[in-house]
Amino acid sequence: MKNLINKVVVITGAGSGMGRAYAHAFSAQGCKLALCDLDSDGLTETVAQLDVNPADVFHQSVDVSDHAAMTDFADAVKRQLGPAHIVINNAGIEGSAKPTWATDLSDYRRVMDVNYFGAIHGCQTFLPHLQANNEGAIVNISSIFGLVGTPNHSDYCGSKFAVRGYTEALMAELHTSPIQVHLVHPGGIDTNIARQDRSRAFSDHFLSTKPEAIAAKLITCIRRNQPRLVYGNGSGKTWLGARFVPLKWLSSIIWREMRPVIDLSEYPKQP
C-alpha cells in the first residue's frame, strides 16, 4: 500500500506512547484517523495535538478487551469516516513484573484479555472493512518479549508470543488476498507502559528509543509490504539471539542481563 492519502487508519491505544506517535505519523501522511483508548483524557490530549481537519479524526474511549465495545467502535468508524484501510492493534498493558510463582492467575487473564484478545477483537471487527475496500493492512504489535522469554514477565511474554503466533497464522491465511499483515516487535520504546514501582529500574534502563522513530519505520514497512518489523533498543541482539543461540545458553544470557533491572524480592535469598 504505497498511497496513504485519505486512507482511514484505526489505532488502538492512541492515548499515549507509540499509539500517539502513530497518530501523528499517519496524520502527516494525509490519513484520516480513528483513534481509541481506555484513557479518555489521554485520547483527548492526543487529538488536541493533531494539526488536522477535525472532520478527519474520530475518537472514542474503548476497552479493547470487550468485543462488543470494539464492534460498536468499528460501526461508528464506518459511519463517521468510512471503512478502515489500516488497523493498528497497538493497545497493551504491562504484566505483574513478578516471577511466575508470585503471579496471580488474574494477572495472566488481565494481560491476555488486553494484549492478545484486544488484537483479535481489532482484527475481527475491522477485517470486513478491509475486505470491502479490497485492500488494506493489519498491524499487530507484539514485542521483542514475543521473541524470547524473560524473567518476571511470563504473563506479558505469554501474551506477546500469542500475538506473534496469531499474526503469523493470519499472514498465511491472507497471503493470496490484497490485505497486508504486519507483525511488529518493538524493543525498548520510551513509553509509559511500565508504571509500577517494581518496574522502574527496568523502565529507566531499557525504554530509551523514541516512539516517533518506530512510527516512521512502520510507515515504511506498510509502503514496502514488509511483514515483520523488529526495532528499538535491544531489538537487534534479541532477534539474533532468538534465531541463532541455543535455548539453554539464551536463558542464561537473558538472566544475566535482566537480573540487575528486575525486582528480586519474590526470589529465594541467595547464600
Place of cell 479524526: 57
Residue 270 belongs to a domain:
no
First to last CA, the chain: 58
Give 149-176 pLDDT, tens digit per residue: 999 999 999 999 999 999 999 999 999 9
Q: Are 139 and 247 in contact (CB under 8 A)?
A: no
Non-local CB neighbours of 161 within 8 Å, separated by 6+ positions: 142, 146, 149
Range(s) of the domain holding residue 230? 8-261
Cell of 189: 520504546
Neighbour tally for 29: CB within 10 Å: 15
Among 156, 166, 231, 267, the active-site one is 156
Residue 216 belongs to a domain:
yes
Per-chain mean pLDDT for the chain: 94
Give 54-102 pLDDT, tens digit per residue: 999 999 999 999 999 999 999 999 999 999 999 999 999 999 999 999 9
Is a pLDDT exceeding 80 seen at residue 195?
Answer: no
So what's the pLDDT on residue 194?
61
So what's the pLDDT on residue 199?
63
Residue 117 belongs to a domain:
yes
Residue 98 belongs to a domain:
yes
Q: Is this structure's pTM higher than 0.85? A: yes
Query: Stretch 195-201: mean pLDDT, rounded?
Result: 67
Write the CA distances from 197 to 65, 96, 200, 202, integer angstroms. Answer: 25, 11, 5, 10
Give percent of the chain above pLDDT 90: 89
Q: How confident is the model at residue 270 (pLDDT cuts 50, 70, 90)?
A: low
Residue 253 belongs to a domain:
yes
The CA distance from 37 to 23, in Å, is 12
Give 252-266 pLDDT, tens digit per residue: 999 999 999 999 999
Residue 27 belongs to a domain:
yes
Is a pLDDT exceeding 90 seen at residue 188?
Answer: no
So what's the pLDDT on residue 263?
92
Could you confirm whether 22 is annotated as catalytic?
Answer: no
So what's the pLDDT on residue 271?
52
Residue 267 belongs to a domain:
no
So what's the pLDDT on residue 32?
98
- CATH code (residue 84): 3.40.50.720
Closest listed residue to residue 154, CA positions, set 113, 74, 96: 96
Number of domains in the chain: 1
Residue 2 belongs to a domain:
no
Helix pair 211-224, 17-28: axis angle to 10 deg? 50
